[in-house]
Amino acid sequence: MNPLKRLGRRRASVLSLLAVGALVTPVAATAAPDAVRASTLGAQAAQSGRYFGTAVAAGRLGDGTYSTILDREFNSVTPENEMKWDATEPSRGSFTFGAADQIFNRATARGQRVRGHTLVWHSQLPGWVSSIRDANTLRGVMNNHITTVMNRYKGRIHSWDVVNEAFADGGSGQMRSSVFRDVLGTGFVEQAFRTARSADPAAKLCYNDYNIEDWNAAKTQGVYRMVRDFKSRGVPIDCVGLQAHFGAGGPPASFQTTLSNFAALGVDVQITELDIAQAPPTAYANTVRACMNVARCTGITVWGIRDSDSWRSSENPLLFDRGGNKKPAYQSTLTALGGSAATQRSGVRSDRSAARSHKSAAALPSRFSWNSSGKLISPKSDATHNIAGIKDPTVVQYNGKYHVFASVAGSSGYNLVYLNFTDWSQAGSATHHYLDRTAIGAGYRAAPQVFYYAPQRLWYLVYQTGNASYSTNPDISNPNGWSAPRHFYSSMPDIIKQNIGNGYWVDMWVICDSANCYLFSSDDNGHLYRSQTPVGQFPNGFTNTVIAAQDSKFALFEASNVYKVQGSNQYLLLVEAVGSDGRRYFRSWTASSLAASWTPLAASESNPFAKSGNVTFPAGAWTRDISHGEMIRAGYDQTLTIPPCKLQYLFQGKDPNADGDYNLLPWRLGLLTQTNSSC
């Protein structure tokens, strides 16, 4: 946004059809060298430091087709049943490791790592355990089992599923009934992890479960609370395994958010038992991409090799058919492993050119329609802040909350505010924390953008101060944690000076792929600029500023957003335009990479991304402007990934009759929800 001078409604007549259907001129598309693409799943995953594994059944190892694929494609194995309690300690104190050893020895001889599965589970549990009623006896039996099994492979198992499936399905968010919980109480999980740490300090200790992929599920929240509690109390836990047994629709839209949120607790996440009914290629790609987009998602295991090997055989959920041939999902998985996600680990670039060379898997529609909420967030003036409008929101979901930063405008100028809340019904009652009271300081600060820069484990708030500025904070929920402003540039880049005319340099926006971070900005004069720096140098080194798109002044005005579309090779560009009615609206474009040219998607006044004409207002038409805001993202890191479906956009709007000084207009925040989502 431009805080200094606004055009108001007087420009309406001159706009005419300038904006309609105008084509943005692509400038300076640069191509990075293509990556060396690996030809097997394990090798491709290894390029980003991850593993790609499969469940293995000892009884199938003699099948040549099976073992050939196993050794060619996978660099990790999980014994499908052979390390479970009924296999390893069928009667008390009598341990049998024949089949487990067979898988373990074969894998280690070939350099494949082994996941241990599983030590404490209510299922495939011998009757002699499930009939124990005495707590001391059961505790002793459980500890002895963990210790004995872990000891056998001590130092040589990469990760252990210490406890499997302890939580209940449904809405309780509590642990399920089992002999362990019923006799020992819920503390059995902690006990198991402590015992496991002592038995093999080298192994990563995982909690593994199914139906914890949807961030909104009560079961996910229950597991999340447990892991958070463990981390806060120092109970040893290193990872969360998400089984990912999916229906044909694949992962829920929030899957990456779930991975990110667990990872943010300080644990690795692993996809441990992936299979998807009918194996739709897009569903596999979406799953893999979510992992690739989360630095601490360290590997993926599919639950079997051929459809005929699957425990869900009738659903054909795997990557190879019964004859051992690669299915379409194999290719989409391989592509996604080398695809366009940001992995940010030790300089290894896993995505490189995939985004340029493959068609998108889950394209956005080319027309949009929306429902708008009423006004959700209004200014809250206090003794020292007389606020006329709240504007330019940026929003992430993190730790079960929405965190919103926005500009606040009034007669004394522009500064920033922060609020958080658990759901939109709470947004209006959230406390407003004015950031001029923090190290961010007083004076002109506006148009914030927030994201978590995973490589540095730090939150960034990007905003305008006349220059492009940022502050950092280790804890997004602590308003006082922000550092004093620093500048991205020493001064305005020359190309902007040459093109800005009578405009203003506004609305800085950062997005990164695995190789580079890009800083976009606008000039209220028809130009979208783009600078770049390698991810390892961020936030320093922004250079090579080019005009990424240009059009007439009002057709390409300001408030640009750029996002990665989850599960596809698409990036989405939104730019705010001023319509022929003088009202604000958004146009949209897509591109196959951040430095590629932008192709119109819904980019005209008659087919806008979001304008009052394609928005319905069930709560009353409180605004005709759909102005500066931000999409609700699927994650919160620097990749700015948005879901492909059911888009939501937090925007600023205002009373259609309000007039006068631009800086005193009564901007309020509302939420658009897409109504024509096909998925």
Q: Which is nearer to ligand XIL, 159 or 372 (CB)?
A: 159
In Å, how far are 260, 376, 473, 566 from 421, measured between CA atoms?
19, 12, 19, 25
Between 79 and 108, how does the x/- string for binding to ligand XIL read (CB under 6 A)?
Answer: -xx---------------------------
In Å, how far are 39, 45, 100, 210, 302 from 306, measured between CA atoms?
18, 20, 21, 21, 10
CA 102 from chain center: how many Å? 38
Q: How many CA atoms lie within 13 A of 121 on its CB side?
A: 25
Q: Which is nearer to ligand XIL, 74 or 434 (CB)?
A: 74
313 near ligand XIL (CB under 6 A): no
- Please state the φ and ψ torsions of residue 162, each to the nearest 5 degrees: -70, -50
Which residue among the candidates 73, 89, 165, 605 is catalytic per the annotation? 165
Q: 242: Cβ–Cβ under 8 A, 6 or more apart, which residues?
A: 208, 209, 210, 212, 213, 258, 259, 269, 270, 271, 272
Cβ of residue 220: shortest distance to ligand XIL, in angstroms?
16
CA dist 463 and 506 (Å) reads 9
Cβ of residue 55: shortest distance to ligand XIL, in angstroms?
6
Q: How do 159-164 and 641-642 pair as beta strands?
A: unpaired
Q: Which is nearer to ligand XIL, 112 or 243 (CB)?
A: 243
Between 212 and 251, how does the x/- string for binding to ligand XIL read (CB under 6 A)?
Answer: -------------------------------x--------
Between 520 and 539, how does the x/- string for binding to ligand XIL read (CB under 6 A)?
Answer: --------------------
**Three-class HEC string of 255-293:** HHHHHHHHHHCCCEEEEEEEEECCCCHHHHHHHHHHHHC
In 476-631, which ranges are E strands? 486-487, 506-512, 516-522, 527-534, 543-550, 558-565, 571-578, 584-591, 599-600, 615-616, 627-631
Cβ of residue 304: shortest distance to ligand XIL, in angstroms?
7
Among 2, 164, 473, 545, binds ligand XIL (CB under 6 A): 164
Cβ of residue 565: shortest distance to ligand XIL, in angstroms?
31
Which residue among the candidates 89, 273, 558, 605 is catalytic per the annotation? 273
Q: Which is nearer to ligand XIL, 301 or 340 (CB)?
A: 301
Let me know the angle formed at the C-alpha of 410 by 409 and 412, rounded to the nearest 5 degrees. 110
Cβ of residue 272: shortest distance to ligand XIL, in angstroms?
8
Q: 290: Cβ–Cβ under 8 A, 6 or more apart, which residues?
A: 251, 255, 256, 259, 297, 566, 567
Let me know the angle formed at the C-alpha of 647 by 645 and 653, rounded to the nearest 5 degrees. 170
275 near ligand XIL (CB under 6 A): no
Cβ of residue 472: shortest distance to ligand XIL, in angstroms?
40
Identify whether 89 is a catalytic site residue.
Answer: no
Number of residues in contact with ligand XIL under rule CB under 6 A: 6
Cβ of residue 129: shortest distance to ligand XIL, in angstroms?
16
> Element (H or E) spanning 188, and its range?
helix 188-199
Q: Which is nearer to ligand XIL, 80 or 558 (CB)?
A: 80
CA dist 109 and 212 (Å) reads 34
Q: Which is nearer to ligand XIL, 76 or 243 (CB)?
A: 243
Cβ of residue 80: shortest distance to ligand XIL, in angstroms?
5
Identify whether 273 is a catalytic site residue.
Answer: yes
273 near ligand XIL (CB under 6 A): yes
Cβ of residue 481: shortest distance to ligand XIL, in angstroms?
40
Cβ of residue 469: shortest distance to ligand XIL, in angstroms?
49
CA dist 568 and 571 (Å) reads 8
DSSP 100: H
DSSP 253: T
Q: Which is nearer to ligand XIL, 262 or 459 (CB)?
A: 262
Q: Could you give the dihedral angle defined by the CA atoms of residues 157, 159, 163 and 168, in that order, rounded to the nearest 10 degrees?
A: -150
311 near ligand XIL (CB under 6 A): yes
**Nearest residue to ligand XIL, using CB?**
311
Let me know the angle formed at the C-alpha of 113 by 110 and 114, rounded to the nearest 5 degrees. 115
| Residue ranges in 31-50 that form contacts with ligand XIL under rule CB under 6 A | none
Q: Which residues of 74-96 are buried (b: 16+ CB within 10 A; e: fewer)?
A: bbbbbbbbbbbbebbbeeeeebe
With CA atoms as reference, report the closest residue to 479 among 437, 532, 424, 520: 437
CA dist 219 and 215 (Å) reads 9
Q: Which is nearer to ligand XIL, 115 or 349 (CB)?
A: 115
Q: Which is nearer to ligand XIL, 57 or 556 (CB)?
A: 57
List contacts with ligand XIL (CB under 6 A).
Answer: 80-81, 164, 243, 273, 311
Give catalytic residues, as residue numbers. Answer: 165, 273
